[in-house]
Structure 1
């Protein structure tokens, strides 16, 4: 009895397809359709590239016959590409980008030029919806969890508002976990890896058939590495004591109150920023009492004790290395989540299938972050640079969702699906920001405490979609969904520093309770948002011979509005997507080529940023871009299996047009030095970004992957694999503030070499990622330096990493 598994992701592969690299091998028909016969032990299932199956239409359909722009990434590819988080799949999907953002250490996504970095907050929702086994994951923090024991990933591009629910404005990603197997017996896999930065990883999965109708699968993972960012020594950087005193007096202080900078306030040892320490475990159960009823149930636990990534100076000070920062706030991250997912499929008759998908998750998190990044040096203990600590004292999210689908079964003139959806979320958070002049012991510049004791979200939807088979080769699909979202903030209060001269000038600590006279309420956040919206789809698709498909569609997406600081509502955003696409397979399925051309019209695009109000208080502000934001793009995916030993993949995206609509008053505290704003704007500093280019949307990005199997004399296989990714210049924010707000064009390479022994019992490999050690920015911010010039900082993708791994199958 012999199976091949994806050891890295713990996904079972009945047999590796000898051809598909980026498209990979999603679940076999037997895994996706419980009624289908299971693959027999020892049988090698060879699939052509065109035989890959997806569930984008909530039916199991061949990828090449599914009239949607979709990337299917199988377990084999996830394994070979060392995919650990959502961010790692971006090079495999045209037009997909991911950024890391500040204090939460959160990954946010952009697809086809549309995304929102504000999705890292408790307020905002993403434009790219993330699902696991069809269960929506509303919080951005979920994207950072280990991708544990994944069978395949479907990335659906374009609005998916009809079938995939709320906030799938420009696309949806569905991670499908490996399910228990009733017929394969007891088997499993394990992997260990080690690399630079003291990287250590372990993963394992085991299948446990309990009876002919019940099976369990258990998967665990632990990944860790040291931080990438080193600590700088303040000695030699800060001014001498005499200079400090002169600077302090020049800033308005007196000799009597002067004190030298305490260098012990700077962090020079301990856990570094950019460290990973994540653990995950999942127990999955499958109950299939007969061929018509299947129940998959899982419990998943995730724990993160790593650290956030740090903003680094784009141009370090003389004598300082690039991967380092002058830190005065130690990094801290503590995140835990527990999730239950349930999926029931019941064939009521030869014509009807009923599905019930439900999920519940609980998340809690705390973090501490050095927001000032040590980018501007203090000139004294209370002058020069600003000390700023961003601290999440507590954040708790509980969300649940339920969906009931009734759909036709088998082949009919009209295939249809009807569904009901309900989701709710309860959030609370406390977030503190102490800002001090010079150092932590300086006077208060400003500080705030944002306390949201109860924020609730409720979403209801009804939807339906039908496909009319006009002829054997021509089909018309129409669908619609009506969603209603209700958001409520109760008791939310923003406290600001009152500048009472009788109060000691001390930064707020975790145990402090804001109250007068030190503090004053700057905003009450109580409010309600209650609105609904309809989305729809119209699509025509045509078979071109046996191996071709053409389609044209018009679809709409929607993301609800909500409440911002002060309880002020912001509007929902809507998107209309016009798309034509083609899918072709050649050479008996050994080559596939899928392409799409799209044009998006986006209204009320939601942009948010930390802002300063005219009274000096700060908060998180939302703006809706008026008029129409327009995006035009082309994307293409080519996969080729050349003979028995060679695979080649090409992923291409071009977005030549990506212009914002009208927004006269765009502000962000992350970018110091913005011009003063008109009083009517309601914020202190802003610029007009009308017509600017969208962020994280390079005009061209392309990935090429090649691998070759060398068949050795002993029967083993040695496989080198090279992946090269190129992107043109892209903006890092919609403010478009020059070179510091850009990621310049770059080319990045990754390489793996893997040996598999003849009996399929073990494998060993090595990897090098970011071969040239490129410095790739994912965001930007700027400060005003002591010389009055701008100092830019950014977060970056990981530097060069390398290591070895060993896997076993049993």
Structure 2
């Protein structure tokens, strides 16, 4: 089998480590489903993944794909759900490493990078939350690994290695999938051990920006009933952002700029006067690890025990480490003489993250009619990071003044420590075999225990200057308890008609315990806040201005009603009404905010034409979104800061989606996806420290903007992806050139819709590749990503005066060489 894996990354043992995507269909990926369906799924997966290049030429039909969207293993074309299934070969061909690499392959899906926390947030069908990167905000798009919910985005979105498939389910999935799947869910299926197999593979890669990659996996039979799988991965590349050299004004110019500030300070603080200091050029970072660098490693150890045909247990342990750097905010219009991919940096980048996860699933076929599954997971995350929030937007004119008087000049966002611990249990019992009514019942419980210290030192001019504002947010303990009961049944009225109904009752409880927000007193020490300073110590000069203790409880009944009709064996249509729910919670100050709800009306079709050569899936939807949780960092009327979450009225959302796959000839394959999305806000008056906004009409002490009727961010009206590949059969192997191009219309980057700097203009982005699969089971793969070298924004801000943005990576290219055995 000649496939490698999506590229994720973590350093394990050395700069290069074994790794590979050995996508074997050993054990059923399925959720306890019918034995016949499971065997069919396994056979189809083996056929598709064992030799993807050969499959392209050996058949004129598109290989049948099986999914677990309904928690049963069913054919994609027989599943009445808007779901995109990406198998190992598709992930491999598109060099998928993170969720951000997946979005172009799925209609109506987008993801954005967030610099200070180094995570990825997701938007689906126009709805998302850019603040779903902290302990205070949950995502609307839920992420699962092997069916186990991952509440924090740092872990699962970085662990795309040794995957069997990724399924992206669009529309509310709360009935079966549970927590925070308001607008969709992403389920990643890892490759499981296979009894009796000694197979494995490895891959080494090299690319520009000194990219080094390695991955490998191998299967070890332990006994006639047990097997083990070991998989590892490492990915690293240098940062894309170079360090600019500071331009130091003359001493006279510095003195002139600093004089009014020094005079004002000394008049207000006669007991602690300050004196002029020359700018220290050593405060600027000029070497070391750059921003936008990757240095990630992971290892997974999986076991399968199958003492009988009716009972099996899959359990895995996974360790992930990240020593890369955050993504930098770059000037949208770079200063004269400076390279676009560069910044004036005064805070060195750092990321130090570790996570450990255990995932377990027991499947028991009780009898021919009933199966039981118990799914449990545990994960623990610890991390810290430093980030240059100002991005050098306003160069210093003196040690305590900057180019723009409207901006302080120096701001760092530092996660001193963060810790997340969560575990979950799920029990499912379901019908199996062919019957008039297919049913599933389940119970679910999850718990989180989170904590964080987040510092924001803001200084005038440079680190040497006077304090503009600085604060520490310490939340030592935040707990979440979520329990649910759910069920779903499908009544097969006849061979063609199927009625489905489902429900889920969820109860959520959140507590914030001992949280504080502190700021430096007016006469406090004029030095930047650092981990060495305990802001809760009476001698620190900091005072607590806010306590974050609080409690929130909520519950909700969500449901699904669906009808599907099989026109014939190759065509089906369906219509559904489903509801989604995302729990409310607590914000700074311990104040509660309410839950979000969504009602989704959808019709769809799934068709296969020309004897299996063409597959087309379509859907149209209308969503009534209520009580949208808008979160943003704000400055309060008294000058203190915090993260505020308010419930807007919601949004009006509707759209169309299509996915087409075709084998033009046995050697030519084409895939096309497209989405049209309309998403506008209802009533919302919002504020954010990331943007310069006008004074609020109702409260002139703060800034805000009425954004009612604005377009939701990260939602292009139209987007499309076209992929083509051709297989050339050679004497000793197969040569496969491929091209993939993505187009989307302009999209806003915030709810404020503040003009061209706050949006990404329409763009086209192309990836190309050339793969050679040798009959001796080794392969060579060369690729170029972002051929146009386009500068594609994922977020924007102008809090520092000039407009800044974060961007997708520039043009990258590389090679991978691997072998299966």
TM-score normalised according to structure 1 size:
0.94
Does the alignment pair 1:634 with 2:676?
Answer: no
Cα distance in 2 for residues equivalent to 1:700 and 1:27: 38
The SS at the match of 2:102 is: helix
| 2-structure distance, mates of 1:207, 1:369 | 41
Q: 1:193 aligns with which of 175, 194, 205?
A: 205
Are the structure 2 counterparts of residues 572 and 8 from structure 1 closer, same or farther at C-alpha, using a change threshold of 3 Å?
Answer: closer
Q: 1:222-301 counterparts in 2 under 5 A?
A: 222-235=234-247, 238-251=248-261, 253=263, 257-301=275-319
How far residue 784 of structure 1 moved from its aligned partner, in angstroms, is: 5.0
Instruction: Pick from 766, 773, 778 the counterpart of residue 762 of structure 1.
Output: 778
Cα deviation digits, residues 64-95 of structure 1 (max 9, x gap): 00000000001001111111111110110001
Q: Is the 8 A contact 1:693 1:731 kept in 2?
A: yes
The equivalent of 2:643 in structure 1 is 620
1:253 Cα shift? 3.5
Structure 2: state its 5+ residue gaps.
8-19, 267-273, 403-407
Give me the whole-angstrom Cα distance separating, in 2, the residues matched to 1:143 and 1:211.
31
Cα distance in structure 2, aligned partners of 1:296 and 1:116: 34
Whether 1:121 aligns to 2:141 is no
CA distance in 2, matches of 1:366, 1:745: 36
2:820 is the alignment partner of 1:797:
no
Task: Determine the structure 2 residue equivalent to 1:19.
Answer: none
Q: For residue 21 of structure 1, what is the aligned residue in structure 2?
A: none
Describe the superposition over 1:604-632 as per-residue Cα deviations: whole angstroms up to 9, x where unpaired. 11111110001101010111112x41101
Residue 677 of structure 1: CA displacement? 2.3
1:218 paired to 2:230: yes
Partner of 2:38: 33
Question: Any idea what SS the aligned residue of 2:568 has?
Answer: coil
Contact 1:11 1:177 in 2 (8 A): no
State which of 440, 448, 451 in structure 1 corresponds to 2:463.
440
* Distance in structure 1 (CA, Å) of the matches to 2:722 and 2:40: 38
Q: State yes or no: 1:779 paired with 2:795.
A: yes
Shift of the 407–697 alpha-carbon distance from structure 1 to 2, 3 Å rule, reads: same
Contact 1:382 1:438 in 2 (8 A): yes
- Output the CA distance in 1 between the equivalents of 2:209 and 2:165: 29
* Structure 1 SS opposite 2:104: helix
Local SS of the residue matching 2:599: strand
SS of 2:795 mapped into structure 1: coil
Superposition deviation, residue 405 in structure 1: 0.4
Q: Is the 8 A contact 2:5 2:96 kept in 1?
A: no
CA distance in 2, matches of 1:298, 1:710: 39
Change (3 A) 1:765 1:339: same
DSSP-derived class of the 1:207 partner = strand
Measured at CA, do residues 34 and 716 of structure 1 come closer, stay the same or move farther in structure 2, by a change above 3 Å? closer
2:696 to 677, 698, 702: 677
Shift of 1:240: 2.2
Partner of 2:618: 595
- Partner Cα distance (1:803, 1:68) in 2: 37
In 1: Cα distance, 2:680 partner to 2:810 partner: 32
Once the two structures are superposed, the pairs formed by residues 356-367 of structure 1 within 5 Å of their partners are 356-367=374-385
Alignment of 1:59-74 (within 5 A): 59-74=72-87
The residue aligned with 2:733 is 716
Q: 2:670 aligns with which of 626, 644, 648?
A: 648
31 and 300 in structure 1: CA distance in 2 versus 1, 3 angstrom threshold = farther
The 2-side partners of 1:700 and 1:74 are apart by 25
Question: Measured at CA, do residues 334 and 544 of structure 1 come closer, stay the same or move farther in structure 2, by a change above 3 Å?
Answer: same
Displacement after TM superposition at 1:411 (Å): 1.1
Counterpart position of 2:10: none
Q: Matches of 2:321 and 2:100 in 1, distance apart?
A: 18
* Structure 2 residue matching 1:33: 3-state secondary structure: helix
How many residues are aligned here? 782
TM-score (norm 2): 0.92
Alignment of 1:120-199 (within 5 A): 120-183=133-196, 185-199=197-211
Cα offsets for 1:773-803 (capped at 9, x unmatched): 0000000010354xxxxx1101100000011
- List 4+ stretches of structure 1 deviating above 6 A: 25-32, 34-47
Runs of 5+ unmatched residues, structure 1: 16-24, 786-790
Asked if the contact 1:201–1:222 (Cα under 8 Å) also holds between the matched residues in 2, the reply is yes
1:362-397 CA-partner distances (Å, limit 9, x unpaired): 000100000011011222111124211111110000
Instruction: Write the distance in 2 (CA, Å) between the matches of 1:194 and 1:29.
Output: 44
Deviations 1:734-753 (A, max 9, x none): 11111111000000000010
CA 1:155–1:350 in structure 2 vs 1: closer, same or farther (change >3 Å)? same
Give the Å deviation of 1:710: 1.1
Q: Is the 8 A contact 1:34 1:291 kept in 2?
A: no
Aligned-residue RMSD, C-alpha: 2.2
